[in-house]
Amino acid sequence: MTALTRTDRLGFLEGELKDLYEQGFVWRPRILEGEQRARARFDGQEVVNLSSNNYLGLTNHPRLRESAKRAIDRYGAGAGAVRPIAGTMTLHRELEEKLARFKGVEATLVFQSGFAANLGAIQTLMGKGDAIYSEELNHGSIIDGCRLSGSEILRWPHRNADALRRLCKESRQKYRRALLVTDAVFSMDGDIAPLKELASIAEEFDLIFMVDDAHASGVLGRGGRGSADHFGLHGRVDLQMGTLSKALGAMGGYIAGSKNLIEFLIQKARPWLLSTAHPPAVVAAAIASVEILESPEGERLVAKLWENANYFKQELKKLGFNTGASETPITPVIVGSSQNAKELARRLFAEGVFAQEIVFPMVAREKARVRTIVTAMHTKEDLDFALNAFKKVGKELELM
Ligand SMILES: *Cc1c(COP(=O)(O)O)cnc(C)c1O
């Protein structure tokens, strides 16, 4: 080979991709044409949208739009610096103060995303010689944060507080500090962690207690204040991670907790320190979201979300579908094989219903499913339309 021969140093990717395709699941993102709404247009087709996390319809709320536009006029399109140096604007502080009041905590710190909040907080707080008790179905951003921390990771089985207690009994004394971390609402199953029991275990074994409220922000608790509020655990959860990207309709994540916790993250959390601050429009939209949630309108939206969620889940069950242990607006329709899930999703889309198939390795091989997410914006007509499609296709595929 002469020096001038061009070699494709990425040639191996062809083989890697081939392996991926043969394993059976590849992402081919559908393209949303227009707004993220209950009825939306994906890949040129009008569908009832059961795939977004826009739980309260806030992504297109007039107040968020207006606030974002005003912020651009007043503050420009970008922040132009990282938060610790010159990128902290009055808007960023206003959002953090509003969030702290909303959550009933001393302080909050906003990160660029929920992913960055989990990664930054866990990696900063924990280190070598520490233990992290991590629930087996925790979100990837928690898992990556655990890995980056260099701590020992001890996994415990899904929602099994007894197994966690046993694990703590046999292992806790081997470590300096320890963190207990769990999703509040699990994104693939729509079930809820037993947070009361977990809070007691954290107290019994001296574990820092962290809860990921990505799918609980704007969904659980009074006016969507989250899982700690829902379970009456104020003061017993050390780190509440929340997102501004899903129900709150904007973008970002935050950690809510004590003054010292937030001050420590400001000094040390790498995604916050090293990546540029949110643009003003995003921050202003998030502020408007929190204001809506604190108002009677917010309470109405959350109530409507739950009314829709309960109706849709109950009707799916009546049709004879397996919806697992779901208790939230996320309802899986568990159909067994990946093939079944893919075929169900494909035919539903053809009938005008967009619900994402979720297959191995996202869930266990024999628990492939189509995941539905309802929002406050769906009308009864939208939900009945979707239920009819489920009934028709479910019968054709003999899934009930
Ligand atoms: C979506 C999600 C995140 C990440 O939040 P973003 O704000 O979208 O980055 C973290 N944890 C869980 C459980 C999630 O579902």
pLDDT interval class at 25 (50, 70, 90) = confident
Residue closest by Cα to atom 7 of ligand 1:
114
pLDDT recorded at residue 23: 83
Distance CA 158, CA 247 (A): 25
Secondary structure (DSSP) of 13-27: HHHHHHHHHHHT---
Distance CA 378, CA 395 (A): 24
CA 117 / ligand 1 centre spacing (Å): 9
Contacts (Cβ under 8 Å, ≥6 apart) of 112: 251, 252, 253, 271, 272, 275, 276, 277, 278
* Over residues 99-124, mean pLDDT: 98
CA torsion through residues 205, 243, 159, 126, sign: negative
Contacts (Cβ under 8 Å, ≥6 apart) of 371: 51, 188, 330, 331, 332, 333, 355, 356, 357, 358
pLDDT recorded at residue 7: 80
pLDDT recorded at residue 2: 56
CA torsion through residues 288, 293, 297, 300, sign: positive
The reported pTM is 0.96
CA-CA distances (angstroms) from residue 79 to 72, 85, 275, 281? 11, 11, 11, 10
CA 243 / ligand 1 centre spacing (Å): 7
pLDDT recorded at residue 3: 61
Q: Is 123 in the pocket of ligand 1 (CB under 6 A)?
A: no
Distance CA 247, CA 49 (A): 15
Query: What are the b/e assignments for 300-329, b being 16+ CB within 10 Å?
Result: ebbebbeebbebbbebbeebebebbebbbb
Q: Is 223 in the pocket of ligand 1 (CB under 6 A)?
A: no
CA-CA distances (angstroms) from residue 392 to 316, 351, 370, 385, 386? 12, 9, 15, 11, 10
pLDDT recorded at residue 329: 98
pLDDT recorded at residue 4: 64
Q: Model confidence over 319-345: pLDDT tens digits?
A: 999 999 999 999 999 999 999 999 999
Catalogue the long-range contacts made by 200-204 (C-beta closer than 8 Å, 24 or more residues apart): 201/161, 201/164, 201/165, 201/168, 202/236, 203/236, 204/165, 204/168
Secondary structure (DSSP) of 301-346: HHHHHHHHHHHHHHHHHHTT-B-TT--SSEEEEEEESHHHHHHHHH
If you count them, how many residues does the chain have?
400
Question: CB of 253 within 8 A of CB of 117?
Answer: yes
Of 92, 103, 139, 215, catalytic: 215
Q: Which of 355, 356, 361, 346 is nearest to 382 (CA)?
A: 355
Q: Model confidence over 341-359: pLDDT tens digits?
A: 999 999 999 999 999 999 9
Distance CA 372, CA 369 (A): 10
pLDDT recorded at residue 199: 98
pLDDT recorded at residue 105: 98
Q: Is 141 among the residues known to form the active site?
A: no
CA 53 / ligand 1 centre spacing (Å): 10
Of 61, 92, 103, 246, catalytic: 246
* Over residues 301-317, mean pLDDT: 98
Substitution site in 243, 282, 330 for ligand 1 pocket (most atoms within 8 Å of beta carbon): 243
Q: Is 217 in the pocket of ligand 1 (CB under 6 A)?
A: no
Distance CA 211, CA 226 (A): 10
Q: Is 215 in the pocket of ligand 1 (CB under 6 A)?
A: yes
Atom of ligand 1 nearest to the CA of 245: 7
Preceding omega of 361 cis (within 30 degrees of 0): yes
Structural domains present in the chain: 27-55+296-396 (3.90.1150.10), 61-293 (3.40.640.10)
pLDDT recorded at residue 1: 52
First-to-final CA distance of the chain: 61
Q: Which residue type occupies 363?
A: V
Substitution site in 111, 183, 211, 245 for ligand 1 pocket (most atoms within 8 Å of beta carbon): 245
Substitution site in 36, 141, 272, 282 for ligand 1 pocket (most atoms within 8 Å of beta carbon): 141
CA 249 / ligand 1 centre spacing (Å): 13
CA 57 / ligand 1 centre spacing (Å): 18
Q: Is 243 in the pocket of ligand 1 (CB under 6 A)?
A: yes
pLDDT interval class at 26 (50, 70, 90) = confident
Q: Taking all residues of the chain, what is their mean pLDDT, rounded to a whole number?
A: 97
Instruction: Order across the sheet with 356-358: list the strands.
Output: 330-336, 368-373, 356-358
Largest CA distance in the chain: 73
pLDDT recorded at residue 294: 98
In sequence order, the β-bridge partners of residue 240 are: 211, 256
Rounded percentage of the chain residues whose pLDDT exceeds 90: 95
Question: CB of 241 within 8 A of CB of 211?
Answer: yes
Q: Is 115 in the pocket of ligand 1 (CB under 6 A)?
A: yes
Residue 283 — φ and ψ, nearest 5°?
Answer: -65, -45
Question: CB of 354 within 8 A of CB of 387?
Answer: no
Q: Is 368 helix (H, G, I), strand (E, B) or coil?
A: strand
In sequence order, the β-bridge partners of residue 39 are: 48
Q: Is 174 among the residues known to form the active site?
A: no
Pairing of strands 356-358, 353-354: unpaired
Distance CA 307, CA 28 (A): 32
Q: Is 189 in the pocket of ligand 1 (CB under 6 A)?
A: no
Dig out the tokens for 52 from the structure. 């977004």
pLDDT recorded at residue 24: 76
Q: Is 246 among the residues known to form the active site?
A: yes
Atom of ligand 1 nearest to the CA of 243: 7
